[in-house]
Structure 1
Amino acid sequence: MGQGSSQFSEAELEDYQDLTYFTKKEVLFAHDQFQKLAPEKVGHNPNVKLSMERLLSLPELRANPFGDRICLVFSSSKDGDCTFEDYLDMMSVFSEAAPKSVKTAYAFRIFDFDGDEYLGRGDLQSVVCRLVGGREASDPSALGPQNRLSVADVDCLVSKLLEEADLDDDGRLAYAEFDHVMSKAPDFTNSFRIRL
């Protein structure tokens, strides 16, 4: 971290601290981690972007079935590539210090695959498929041997979820409905975390 401390002025560190759930020391550590992903590219230039491919080399994202979605949601350019500030936002939201309400809001965006601001049947099928080892619900072959659920099982699970959580019976979850479900999940905050 020695070199990282000279990368930012005190004012910049204070701004990052004010805009995240991190201390100055954690901001410097995050920058060090970001720089290790591409030491040849990253310096003090806040506009340098790392590719989604590089970001997915982080063990925490590589092991996460939503790693690509996380990169896309936090990418200011919406292509999955991230600047240091995008990366810092991502790590801040996944930190222990981030409130559950912030984690819930970002989880909703990550799970909203089609970007329509609702979690419809297709979004929920994709979430379930990724959680059990497949990729996307639109690709039945994604439910391969590593997946313990059949397409019919996924459909049944999504139907049950909508039956329980879709309070206005419109066949999809609005953010308020998703938030209501997450408020009843005490372990959600613990599972929606990445440690620096």
Structure 2
Amino acid sequence: MGNTVSVFTDDQLEAYQDCTFFTRKEILRVFERFRSVSPNRVPINMRDGKSRKIKIPYQELVTMTEIRENPFCERICHVFSEDGSGDMTFDDFLDMFSVFSEAAPRDIKCAYAFKIYDFDGDNYLSRHDLKETLKCLTRGELTDEEISFVVGKVLEEADLDDDNMLSYIEFEHVISRSSDFLNTFHIRI
């Protein structure tokens, strides 16, 4: 247990366990991954509030193999960084990995998926948000006409109150019918 004492206090580890879906060992593994992204910036000892102060810049985070190939890489970093900049503290990084862990429940994953797809941050998935989501998913391989067609079909199927956008409840209803959602919304550490 010497390694845990040198990185975090017991109180820090207990707090992390209480607010994530990780064991102490997994928290330390996530920390090692965090530190490996920027070893010169991140000290070995994260006591004394350093976990909330030291940030890894977005430009360095997007080089990680775990998120680099994800079409929502930029959105993920912005959503999980507390200030929305994409730069992450260890606390932000741990939250991200916790939500994307296999142990995180569907409702937590669904809430974060909604935030990631809500490009304008207005708590609805508008036509614009759905178009941006589709562009990310298809990596720009569809024409504007094809995107508009698919967005129209999504709204036709999922927009239960006919307001031309999806509320969180409508989005959650769609996700509940998706058997693949839990298999695709994860990152392994």
TM category, shorter: over 0.9
Report the AA paired with residue 88 of structure 2. C
Contact 1:5 1:28 in 2 (8 A): no
Question: Which whole-Å deviations, capped at 9, do the CAs of 1:63-113 have from their partners, x for residues lacking one?
Answer: 100011001001011111000000000000000000000000000000000
Aligned to 1:15: 15
Superposed structure 1 runs of 4+ greater than 6 Å apart:
none
> Unpaired segments of 5 or more residues in structure 2?
none
Contact 1:4 1:31 in 2 (8 A): no
Aligned counterpart for 2:156 among listed residues 160, 163, 169: 163
User: Identity of aligned pairs, percent?
Assistant: 49
How many equivalent residue pairs? 183
> Unpaired segments of 5 or more residues in structure 1?
135-146
Deviation at 1:3, TM superposition (A): 5.2
Deviation at 1:5, TM superposition (A): 5.5
Deviation at 1:60, TM superposition (A): 1.7
Mapping for residues 9-88 of structure 1, pairs under 5 Å: 9-43=9-43, 44=46, 45-46=50-51, 47-88=53-94
Given the two structures, how large is their TM-score scaled by the length of structure 2?
A: 0.94
Report the AA paired with residue 84 of structure 1. F
Pair 1:172 & 2:179 matched: no
Pair 1:128 & 2:134 matched: yes
Given the two structures, how large is their TM-score scaled by the length of structure 1?
A: 0.90
CA 1:28 to 1:5, structure 2 compared with 1: closer, same or farther past 3 Å?
A: farther
Q: Using the alignment, how far apart are the partners of 1:38 and 1:60 within structure 2?
A: 15
Q: Using the alignment, how far apart are the partners of 1:18 and 1:72 within structure 2?
A: 24
Question: Which whole-Å deviations, capped at 9, do the CAs of 1:10-38 have from their partners, x for residues lacking one?
Answer: 12111101110011100000000000111
Pair 1:115 & 2:108 matched: no
CA 1:114 to 1:19, structure 2 compared with 1: closer, same or farther past 3 Å?
A: same
Contact 1:71 1:82 in 2 (8 A): yes
Larger helix share, 1 or 2:
2
Q: Name the Cα RMSD after superposition.
A: 1.4
Q: Using the alignment, how far apart are the partners of 2:83 and 2:128 within structure 1?
A: 25
Q: Using the alignment, how far apart are the partners of 1:51 and 1:83 within structure 2?
A: 9
